[in-house]
A and B are shown apart, each in its own frame.
Chain A
Amino acid sequence: MSTVVTLDRVSVRYGRQFALRDVTAAFPAGAVGLLGPNGAGKSTMIKALLGFLHPDQGEMKVLDLDVKRSPLSIRARIGYMPESDSHIPGMNAVSFVAYCGELAGLPRADAMQRAHEVLYYVGLGEARYRNLETYSTGMKQRIKLAQALVHDPDLLFLDEPTNGMDPKGRDEMLELVRDIAHNKGMNLILSSHLLPDVEYTCDHVVVMDKGQVATSGPIDALKGQGGRVFEIRVKGDRSAFVAALRASGIECHDSEEDLMRAFVPDERGATFLFRIAAEQHVQVRHLRASVPTLEDVFAKAVGEV
């Protein structure tokens, strides 16, 4: 499968603080999730790929074009939906999107026609003559998507596209993102700290933590990567039990309240967990084999960094 974005030993610093540290990554064509906790370096990576930030070292390519040498050619072929509220003051939705189309190189008439089409597509058809300053948070997210789509890019960067949206709006946004990636033949990189969003819309994932790539690959493959997952609830010295599991090479992380998820990397099963519990004098109140989720992949990857 071809790659749409590659980073080779890229480092970006804010003053003396590294935001990206020696990052090497490849984003395949299709829908790729850029996952990581806040401050992991996701937005910095996107801004570096857009040419907003200049790396201290390393090389980056987008759609086989060098970011340093061909920034304009790259920007003509990508769409960017920023994380923060962004609009051009004093415009209504259709003027704004058409204006963005013209800035991206579309002739004036085509830009206006595309603006109407794209606004209908993102669900703002009825509100397209309203001033942007009167839009709700959800509508602002949609208009940001519309301006990123108007010039029909080959690659879309979406930075936290569901931020601040209500559950219904969030579902609709995720449907749009999924449709763009899977039915419209557009590549996209979705940056988010929300695992369900990435799991629903993307096929691949790159997990970032502390400015480095923690893990990457197809989501299905990462979820099915060796070993099993168990949900456990214990009564007694919980920390001693966790320490004993870790000493045996079993990673543990909290999921909800007093429930833990344990990753057993080999063929050892429930019997082994019971034995450890008995050795640590804790009662096992709940033990169930579970299906690995992206959350497990994330927790495991971030925990290993």
Chain B
Amino acid sequence: MSPIHDQGYRRYGGQREPHGRRWWVITRAGILSRIREKRVIVVLLFAWAPFLIRAIQIYASANFEQVAFLAPTPEMFREFLDQQNIFIFIVCIIIGAGLIADDRRANALQIYLSKPLTRVEYIAGKLATLAILLAFVTWLPAMLLLVLQMLFAGSTKFLREHLFLIPAVTLFAATQVFVWSFAMLALSSLSKSRRFVAIMYAGILFFTAAMYQALRQITGSTAWAAISPRDTMNVIADGIFRIANAPRPIPVAAAVVAVIVLIVAAMLVLERRVRGVEVIT
């Protein structure tokens, strides 16, 4: 007698998605798996604390004349994004460090790359995972502050006078997100241990800043700021937000070149490290 239902293997006759969208599968799975972790939720929520303080500041300045001096300025938005650097650092450490390192530890790259998926799609999927979460703690709160300013003030005067803030916030937040995402992803591809990656990331960040200060003291030249990503990003931020009286150790153009060099270096590392098979000769 034949069974009424066979739980055996069946051929698949359904639709298949076209190529080119697989990176989103990686991104979606990456974000969903991370936000299931309690510590990630805590960090992401805590990263919005400066937003709350700024929101209260904007509300107070719009509604109480006694604290009108707290009224938002373009510098406030630049400072806000600068303050978020600490959360960028933490998010990079707890989410970014394991993005590729964990896959390398579990030999998952050969699984990924045996599917109809290019290396570029794999990297794009991982990059977008980190970039979206970083945008959640930088670009999104900054833009919401602009919206809140309009709502609390009951007019669009501030925004009309400083219309450049929308592209400025977007451009600088995008620069922050992509520079740190690329840097962290490249470091993550260099090791199988997320702890080691986190130490490398923190080490490089603090070491380059310390190197800059030491070389500046020794040589008297501020051009060494180009080796410190933190200082380079500050120069770019001052340029984007049109902060006229800010100290500029190097010209904005030089800072942009330094950042591009960093991203290209990260891409080269990723190109070498993200492979289906590791060849040791």
Contact = CB atoms under 8 A, between A and B. Distances in A.
Interface of A: 14-17, 47, 50-53, 72-73, 75-76, 78-80, 82, 84-91, 99-100, 102-107, 110, 114, 117-118, 120-121, 125, 147, 149, 151-152, 179-180, 184-185
B8 A90 contact: no
B115 A84 contact: no
Interface stretch (B11-19, B53-61, B78-86, B127-135): B11-19
B106 A103 contact: no
A71 to B, nearest CB: 8
Nearest to A144: B111
A51 B9 contact: no
B89 interface: no
B110 A73 contact: no
Interface residues of B, number: 39
A52 B116 contact: no
Nearest to B14: A110
Contact of A103 (B98, B117, B279): B117
Nearest to B34: A90
14 contacts: A50-B114, A75-B114, A76-B116, A86-B108, A99-B29, A102-B22, A103-B117, A105-B16, A106-B16, A110-B14, A117-B10, A121-B9, A151-B16, A152-B11
Contacts of B17: 102, 105-107
Contacts of B110: 52, 80, 82, 84, 86
Contacts of B117: 72, 75, 103
Interface centre among A15, A17, A79, A103 (most CB of B within 10 A): A103
Which of B9, B33, B106 is the most central at the interface, judged by chain A CB atoms within 10 Å of its CB?
B9
Contacts of A104: 16, 115-116
B277 A184 contact: no
B281 A110 contact: no
Nearest to B194: A89
Given A15-B281, A184-B9, A86 B111 contact: yes
Given A47-B276, A75-B115, A84 B107 contact: yes
B157 interface: no
Given A72-B116, A105-B17, A180 B281 contact: no
Given A76-B116, A103-B22, A91 B7 contact: no
B277 A52 contact: yes
Contacts of B26: 103
Contacts of A102: 17, 22, 25
A155 to B, nearest CB: 12
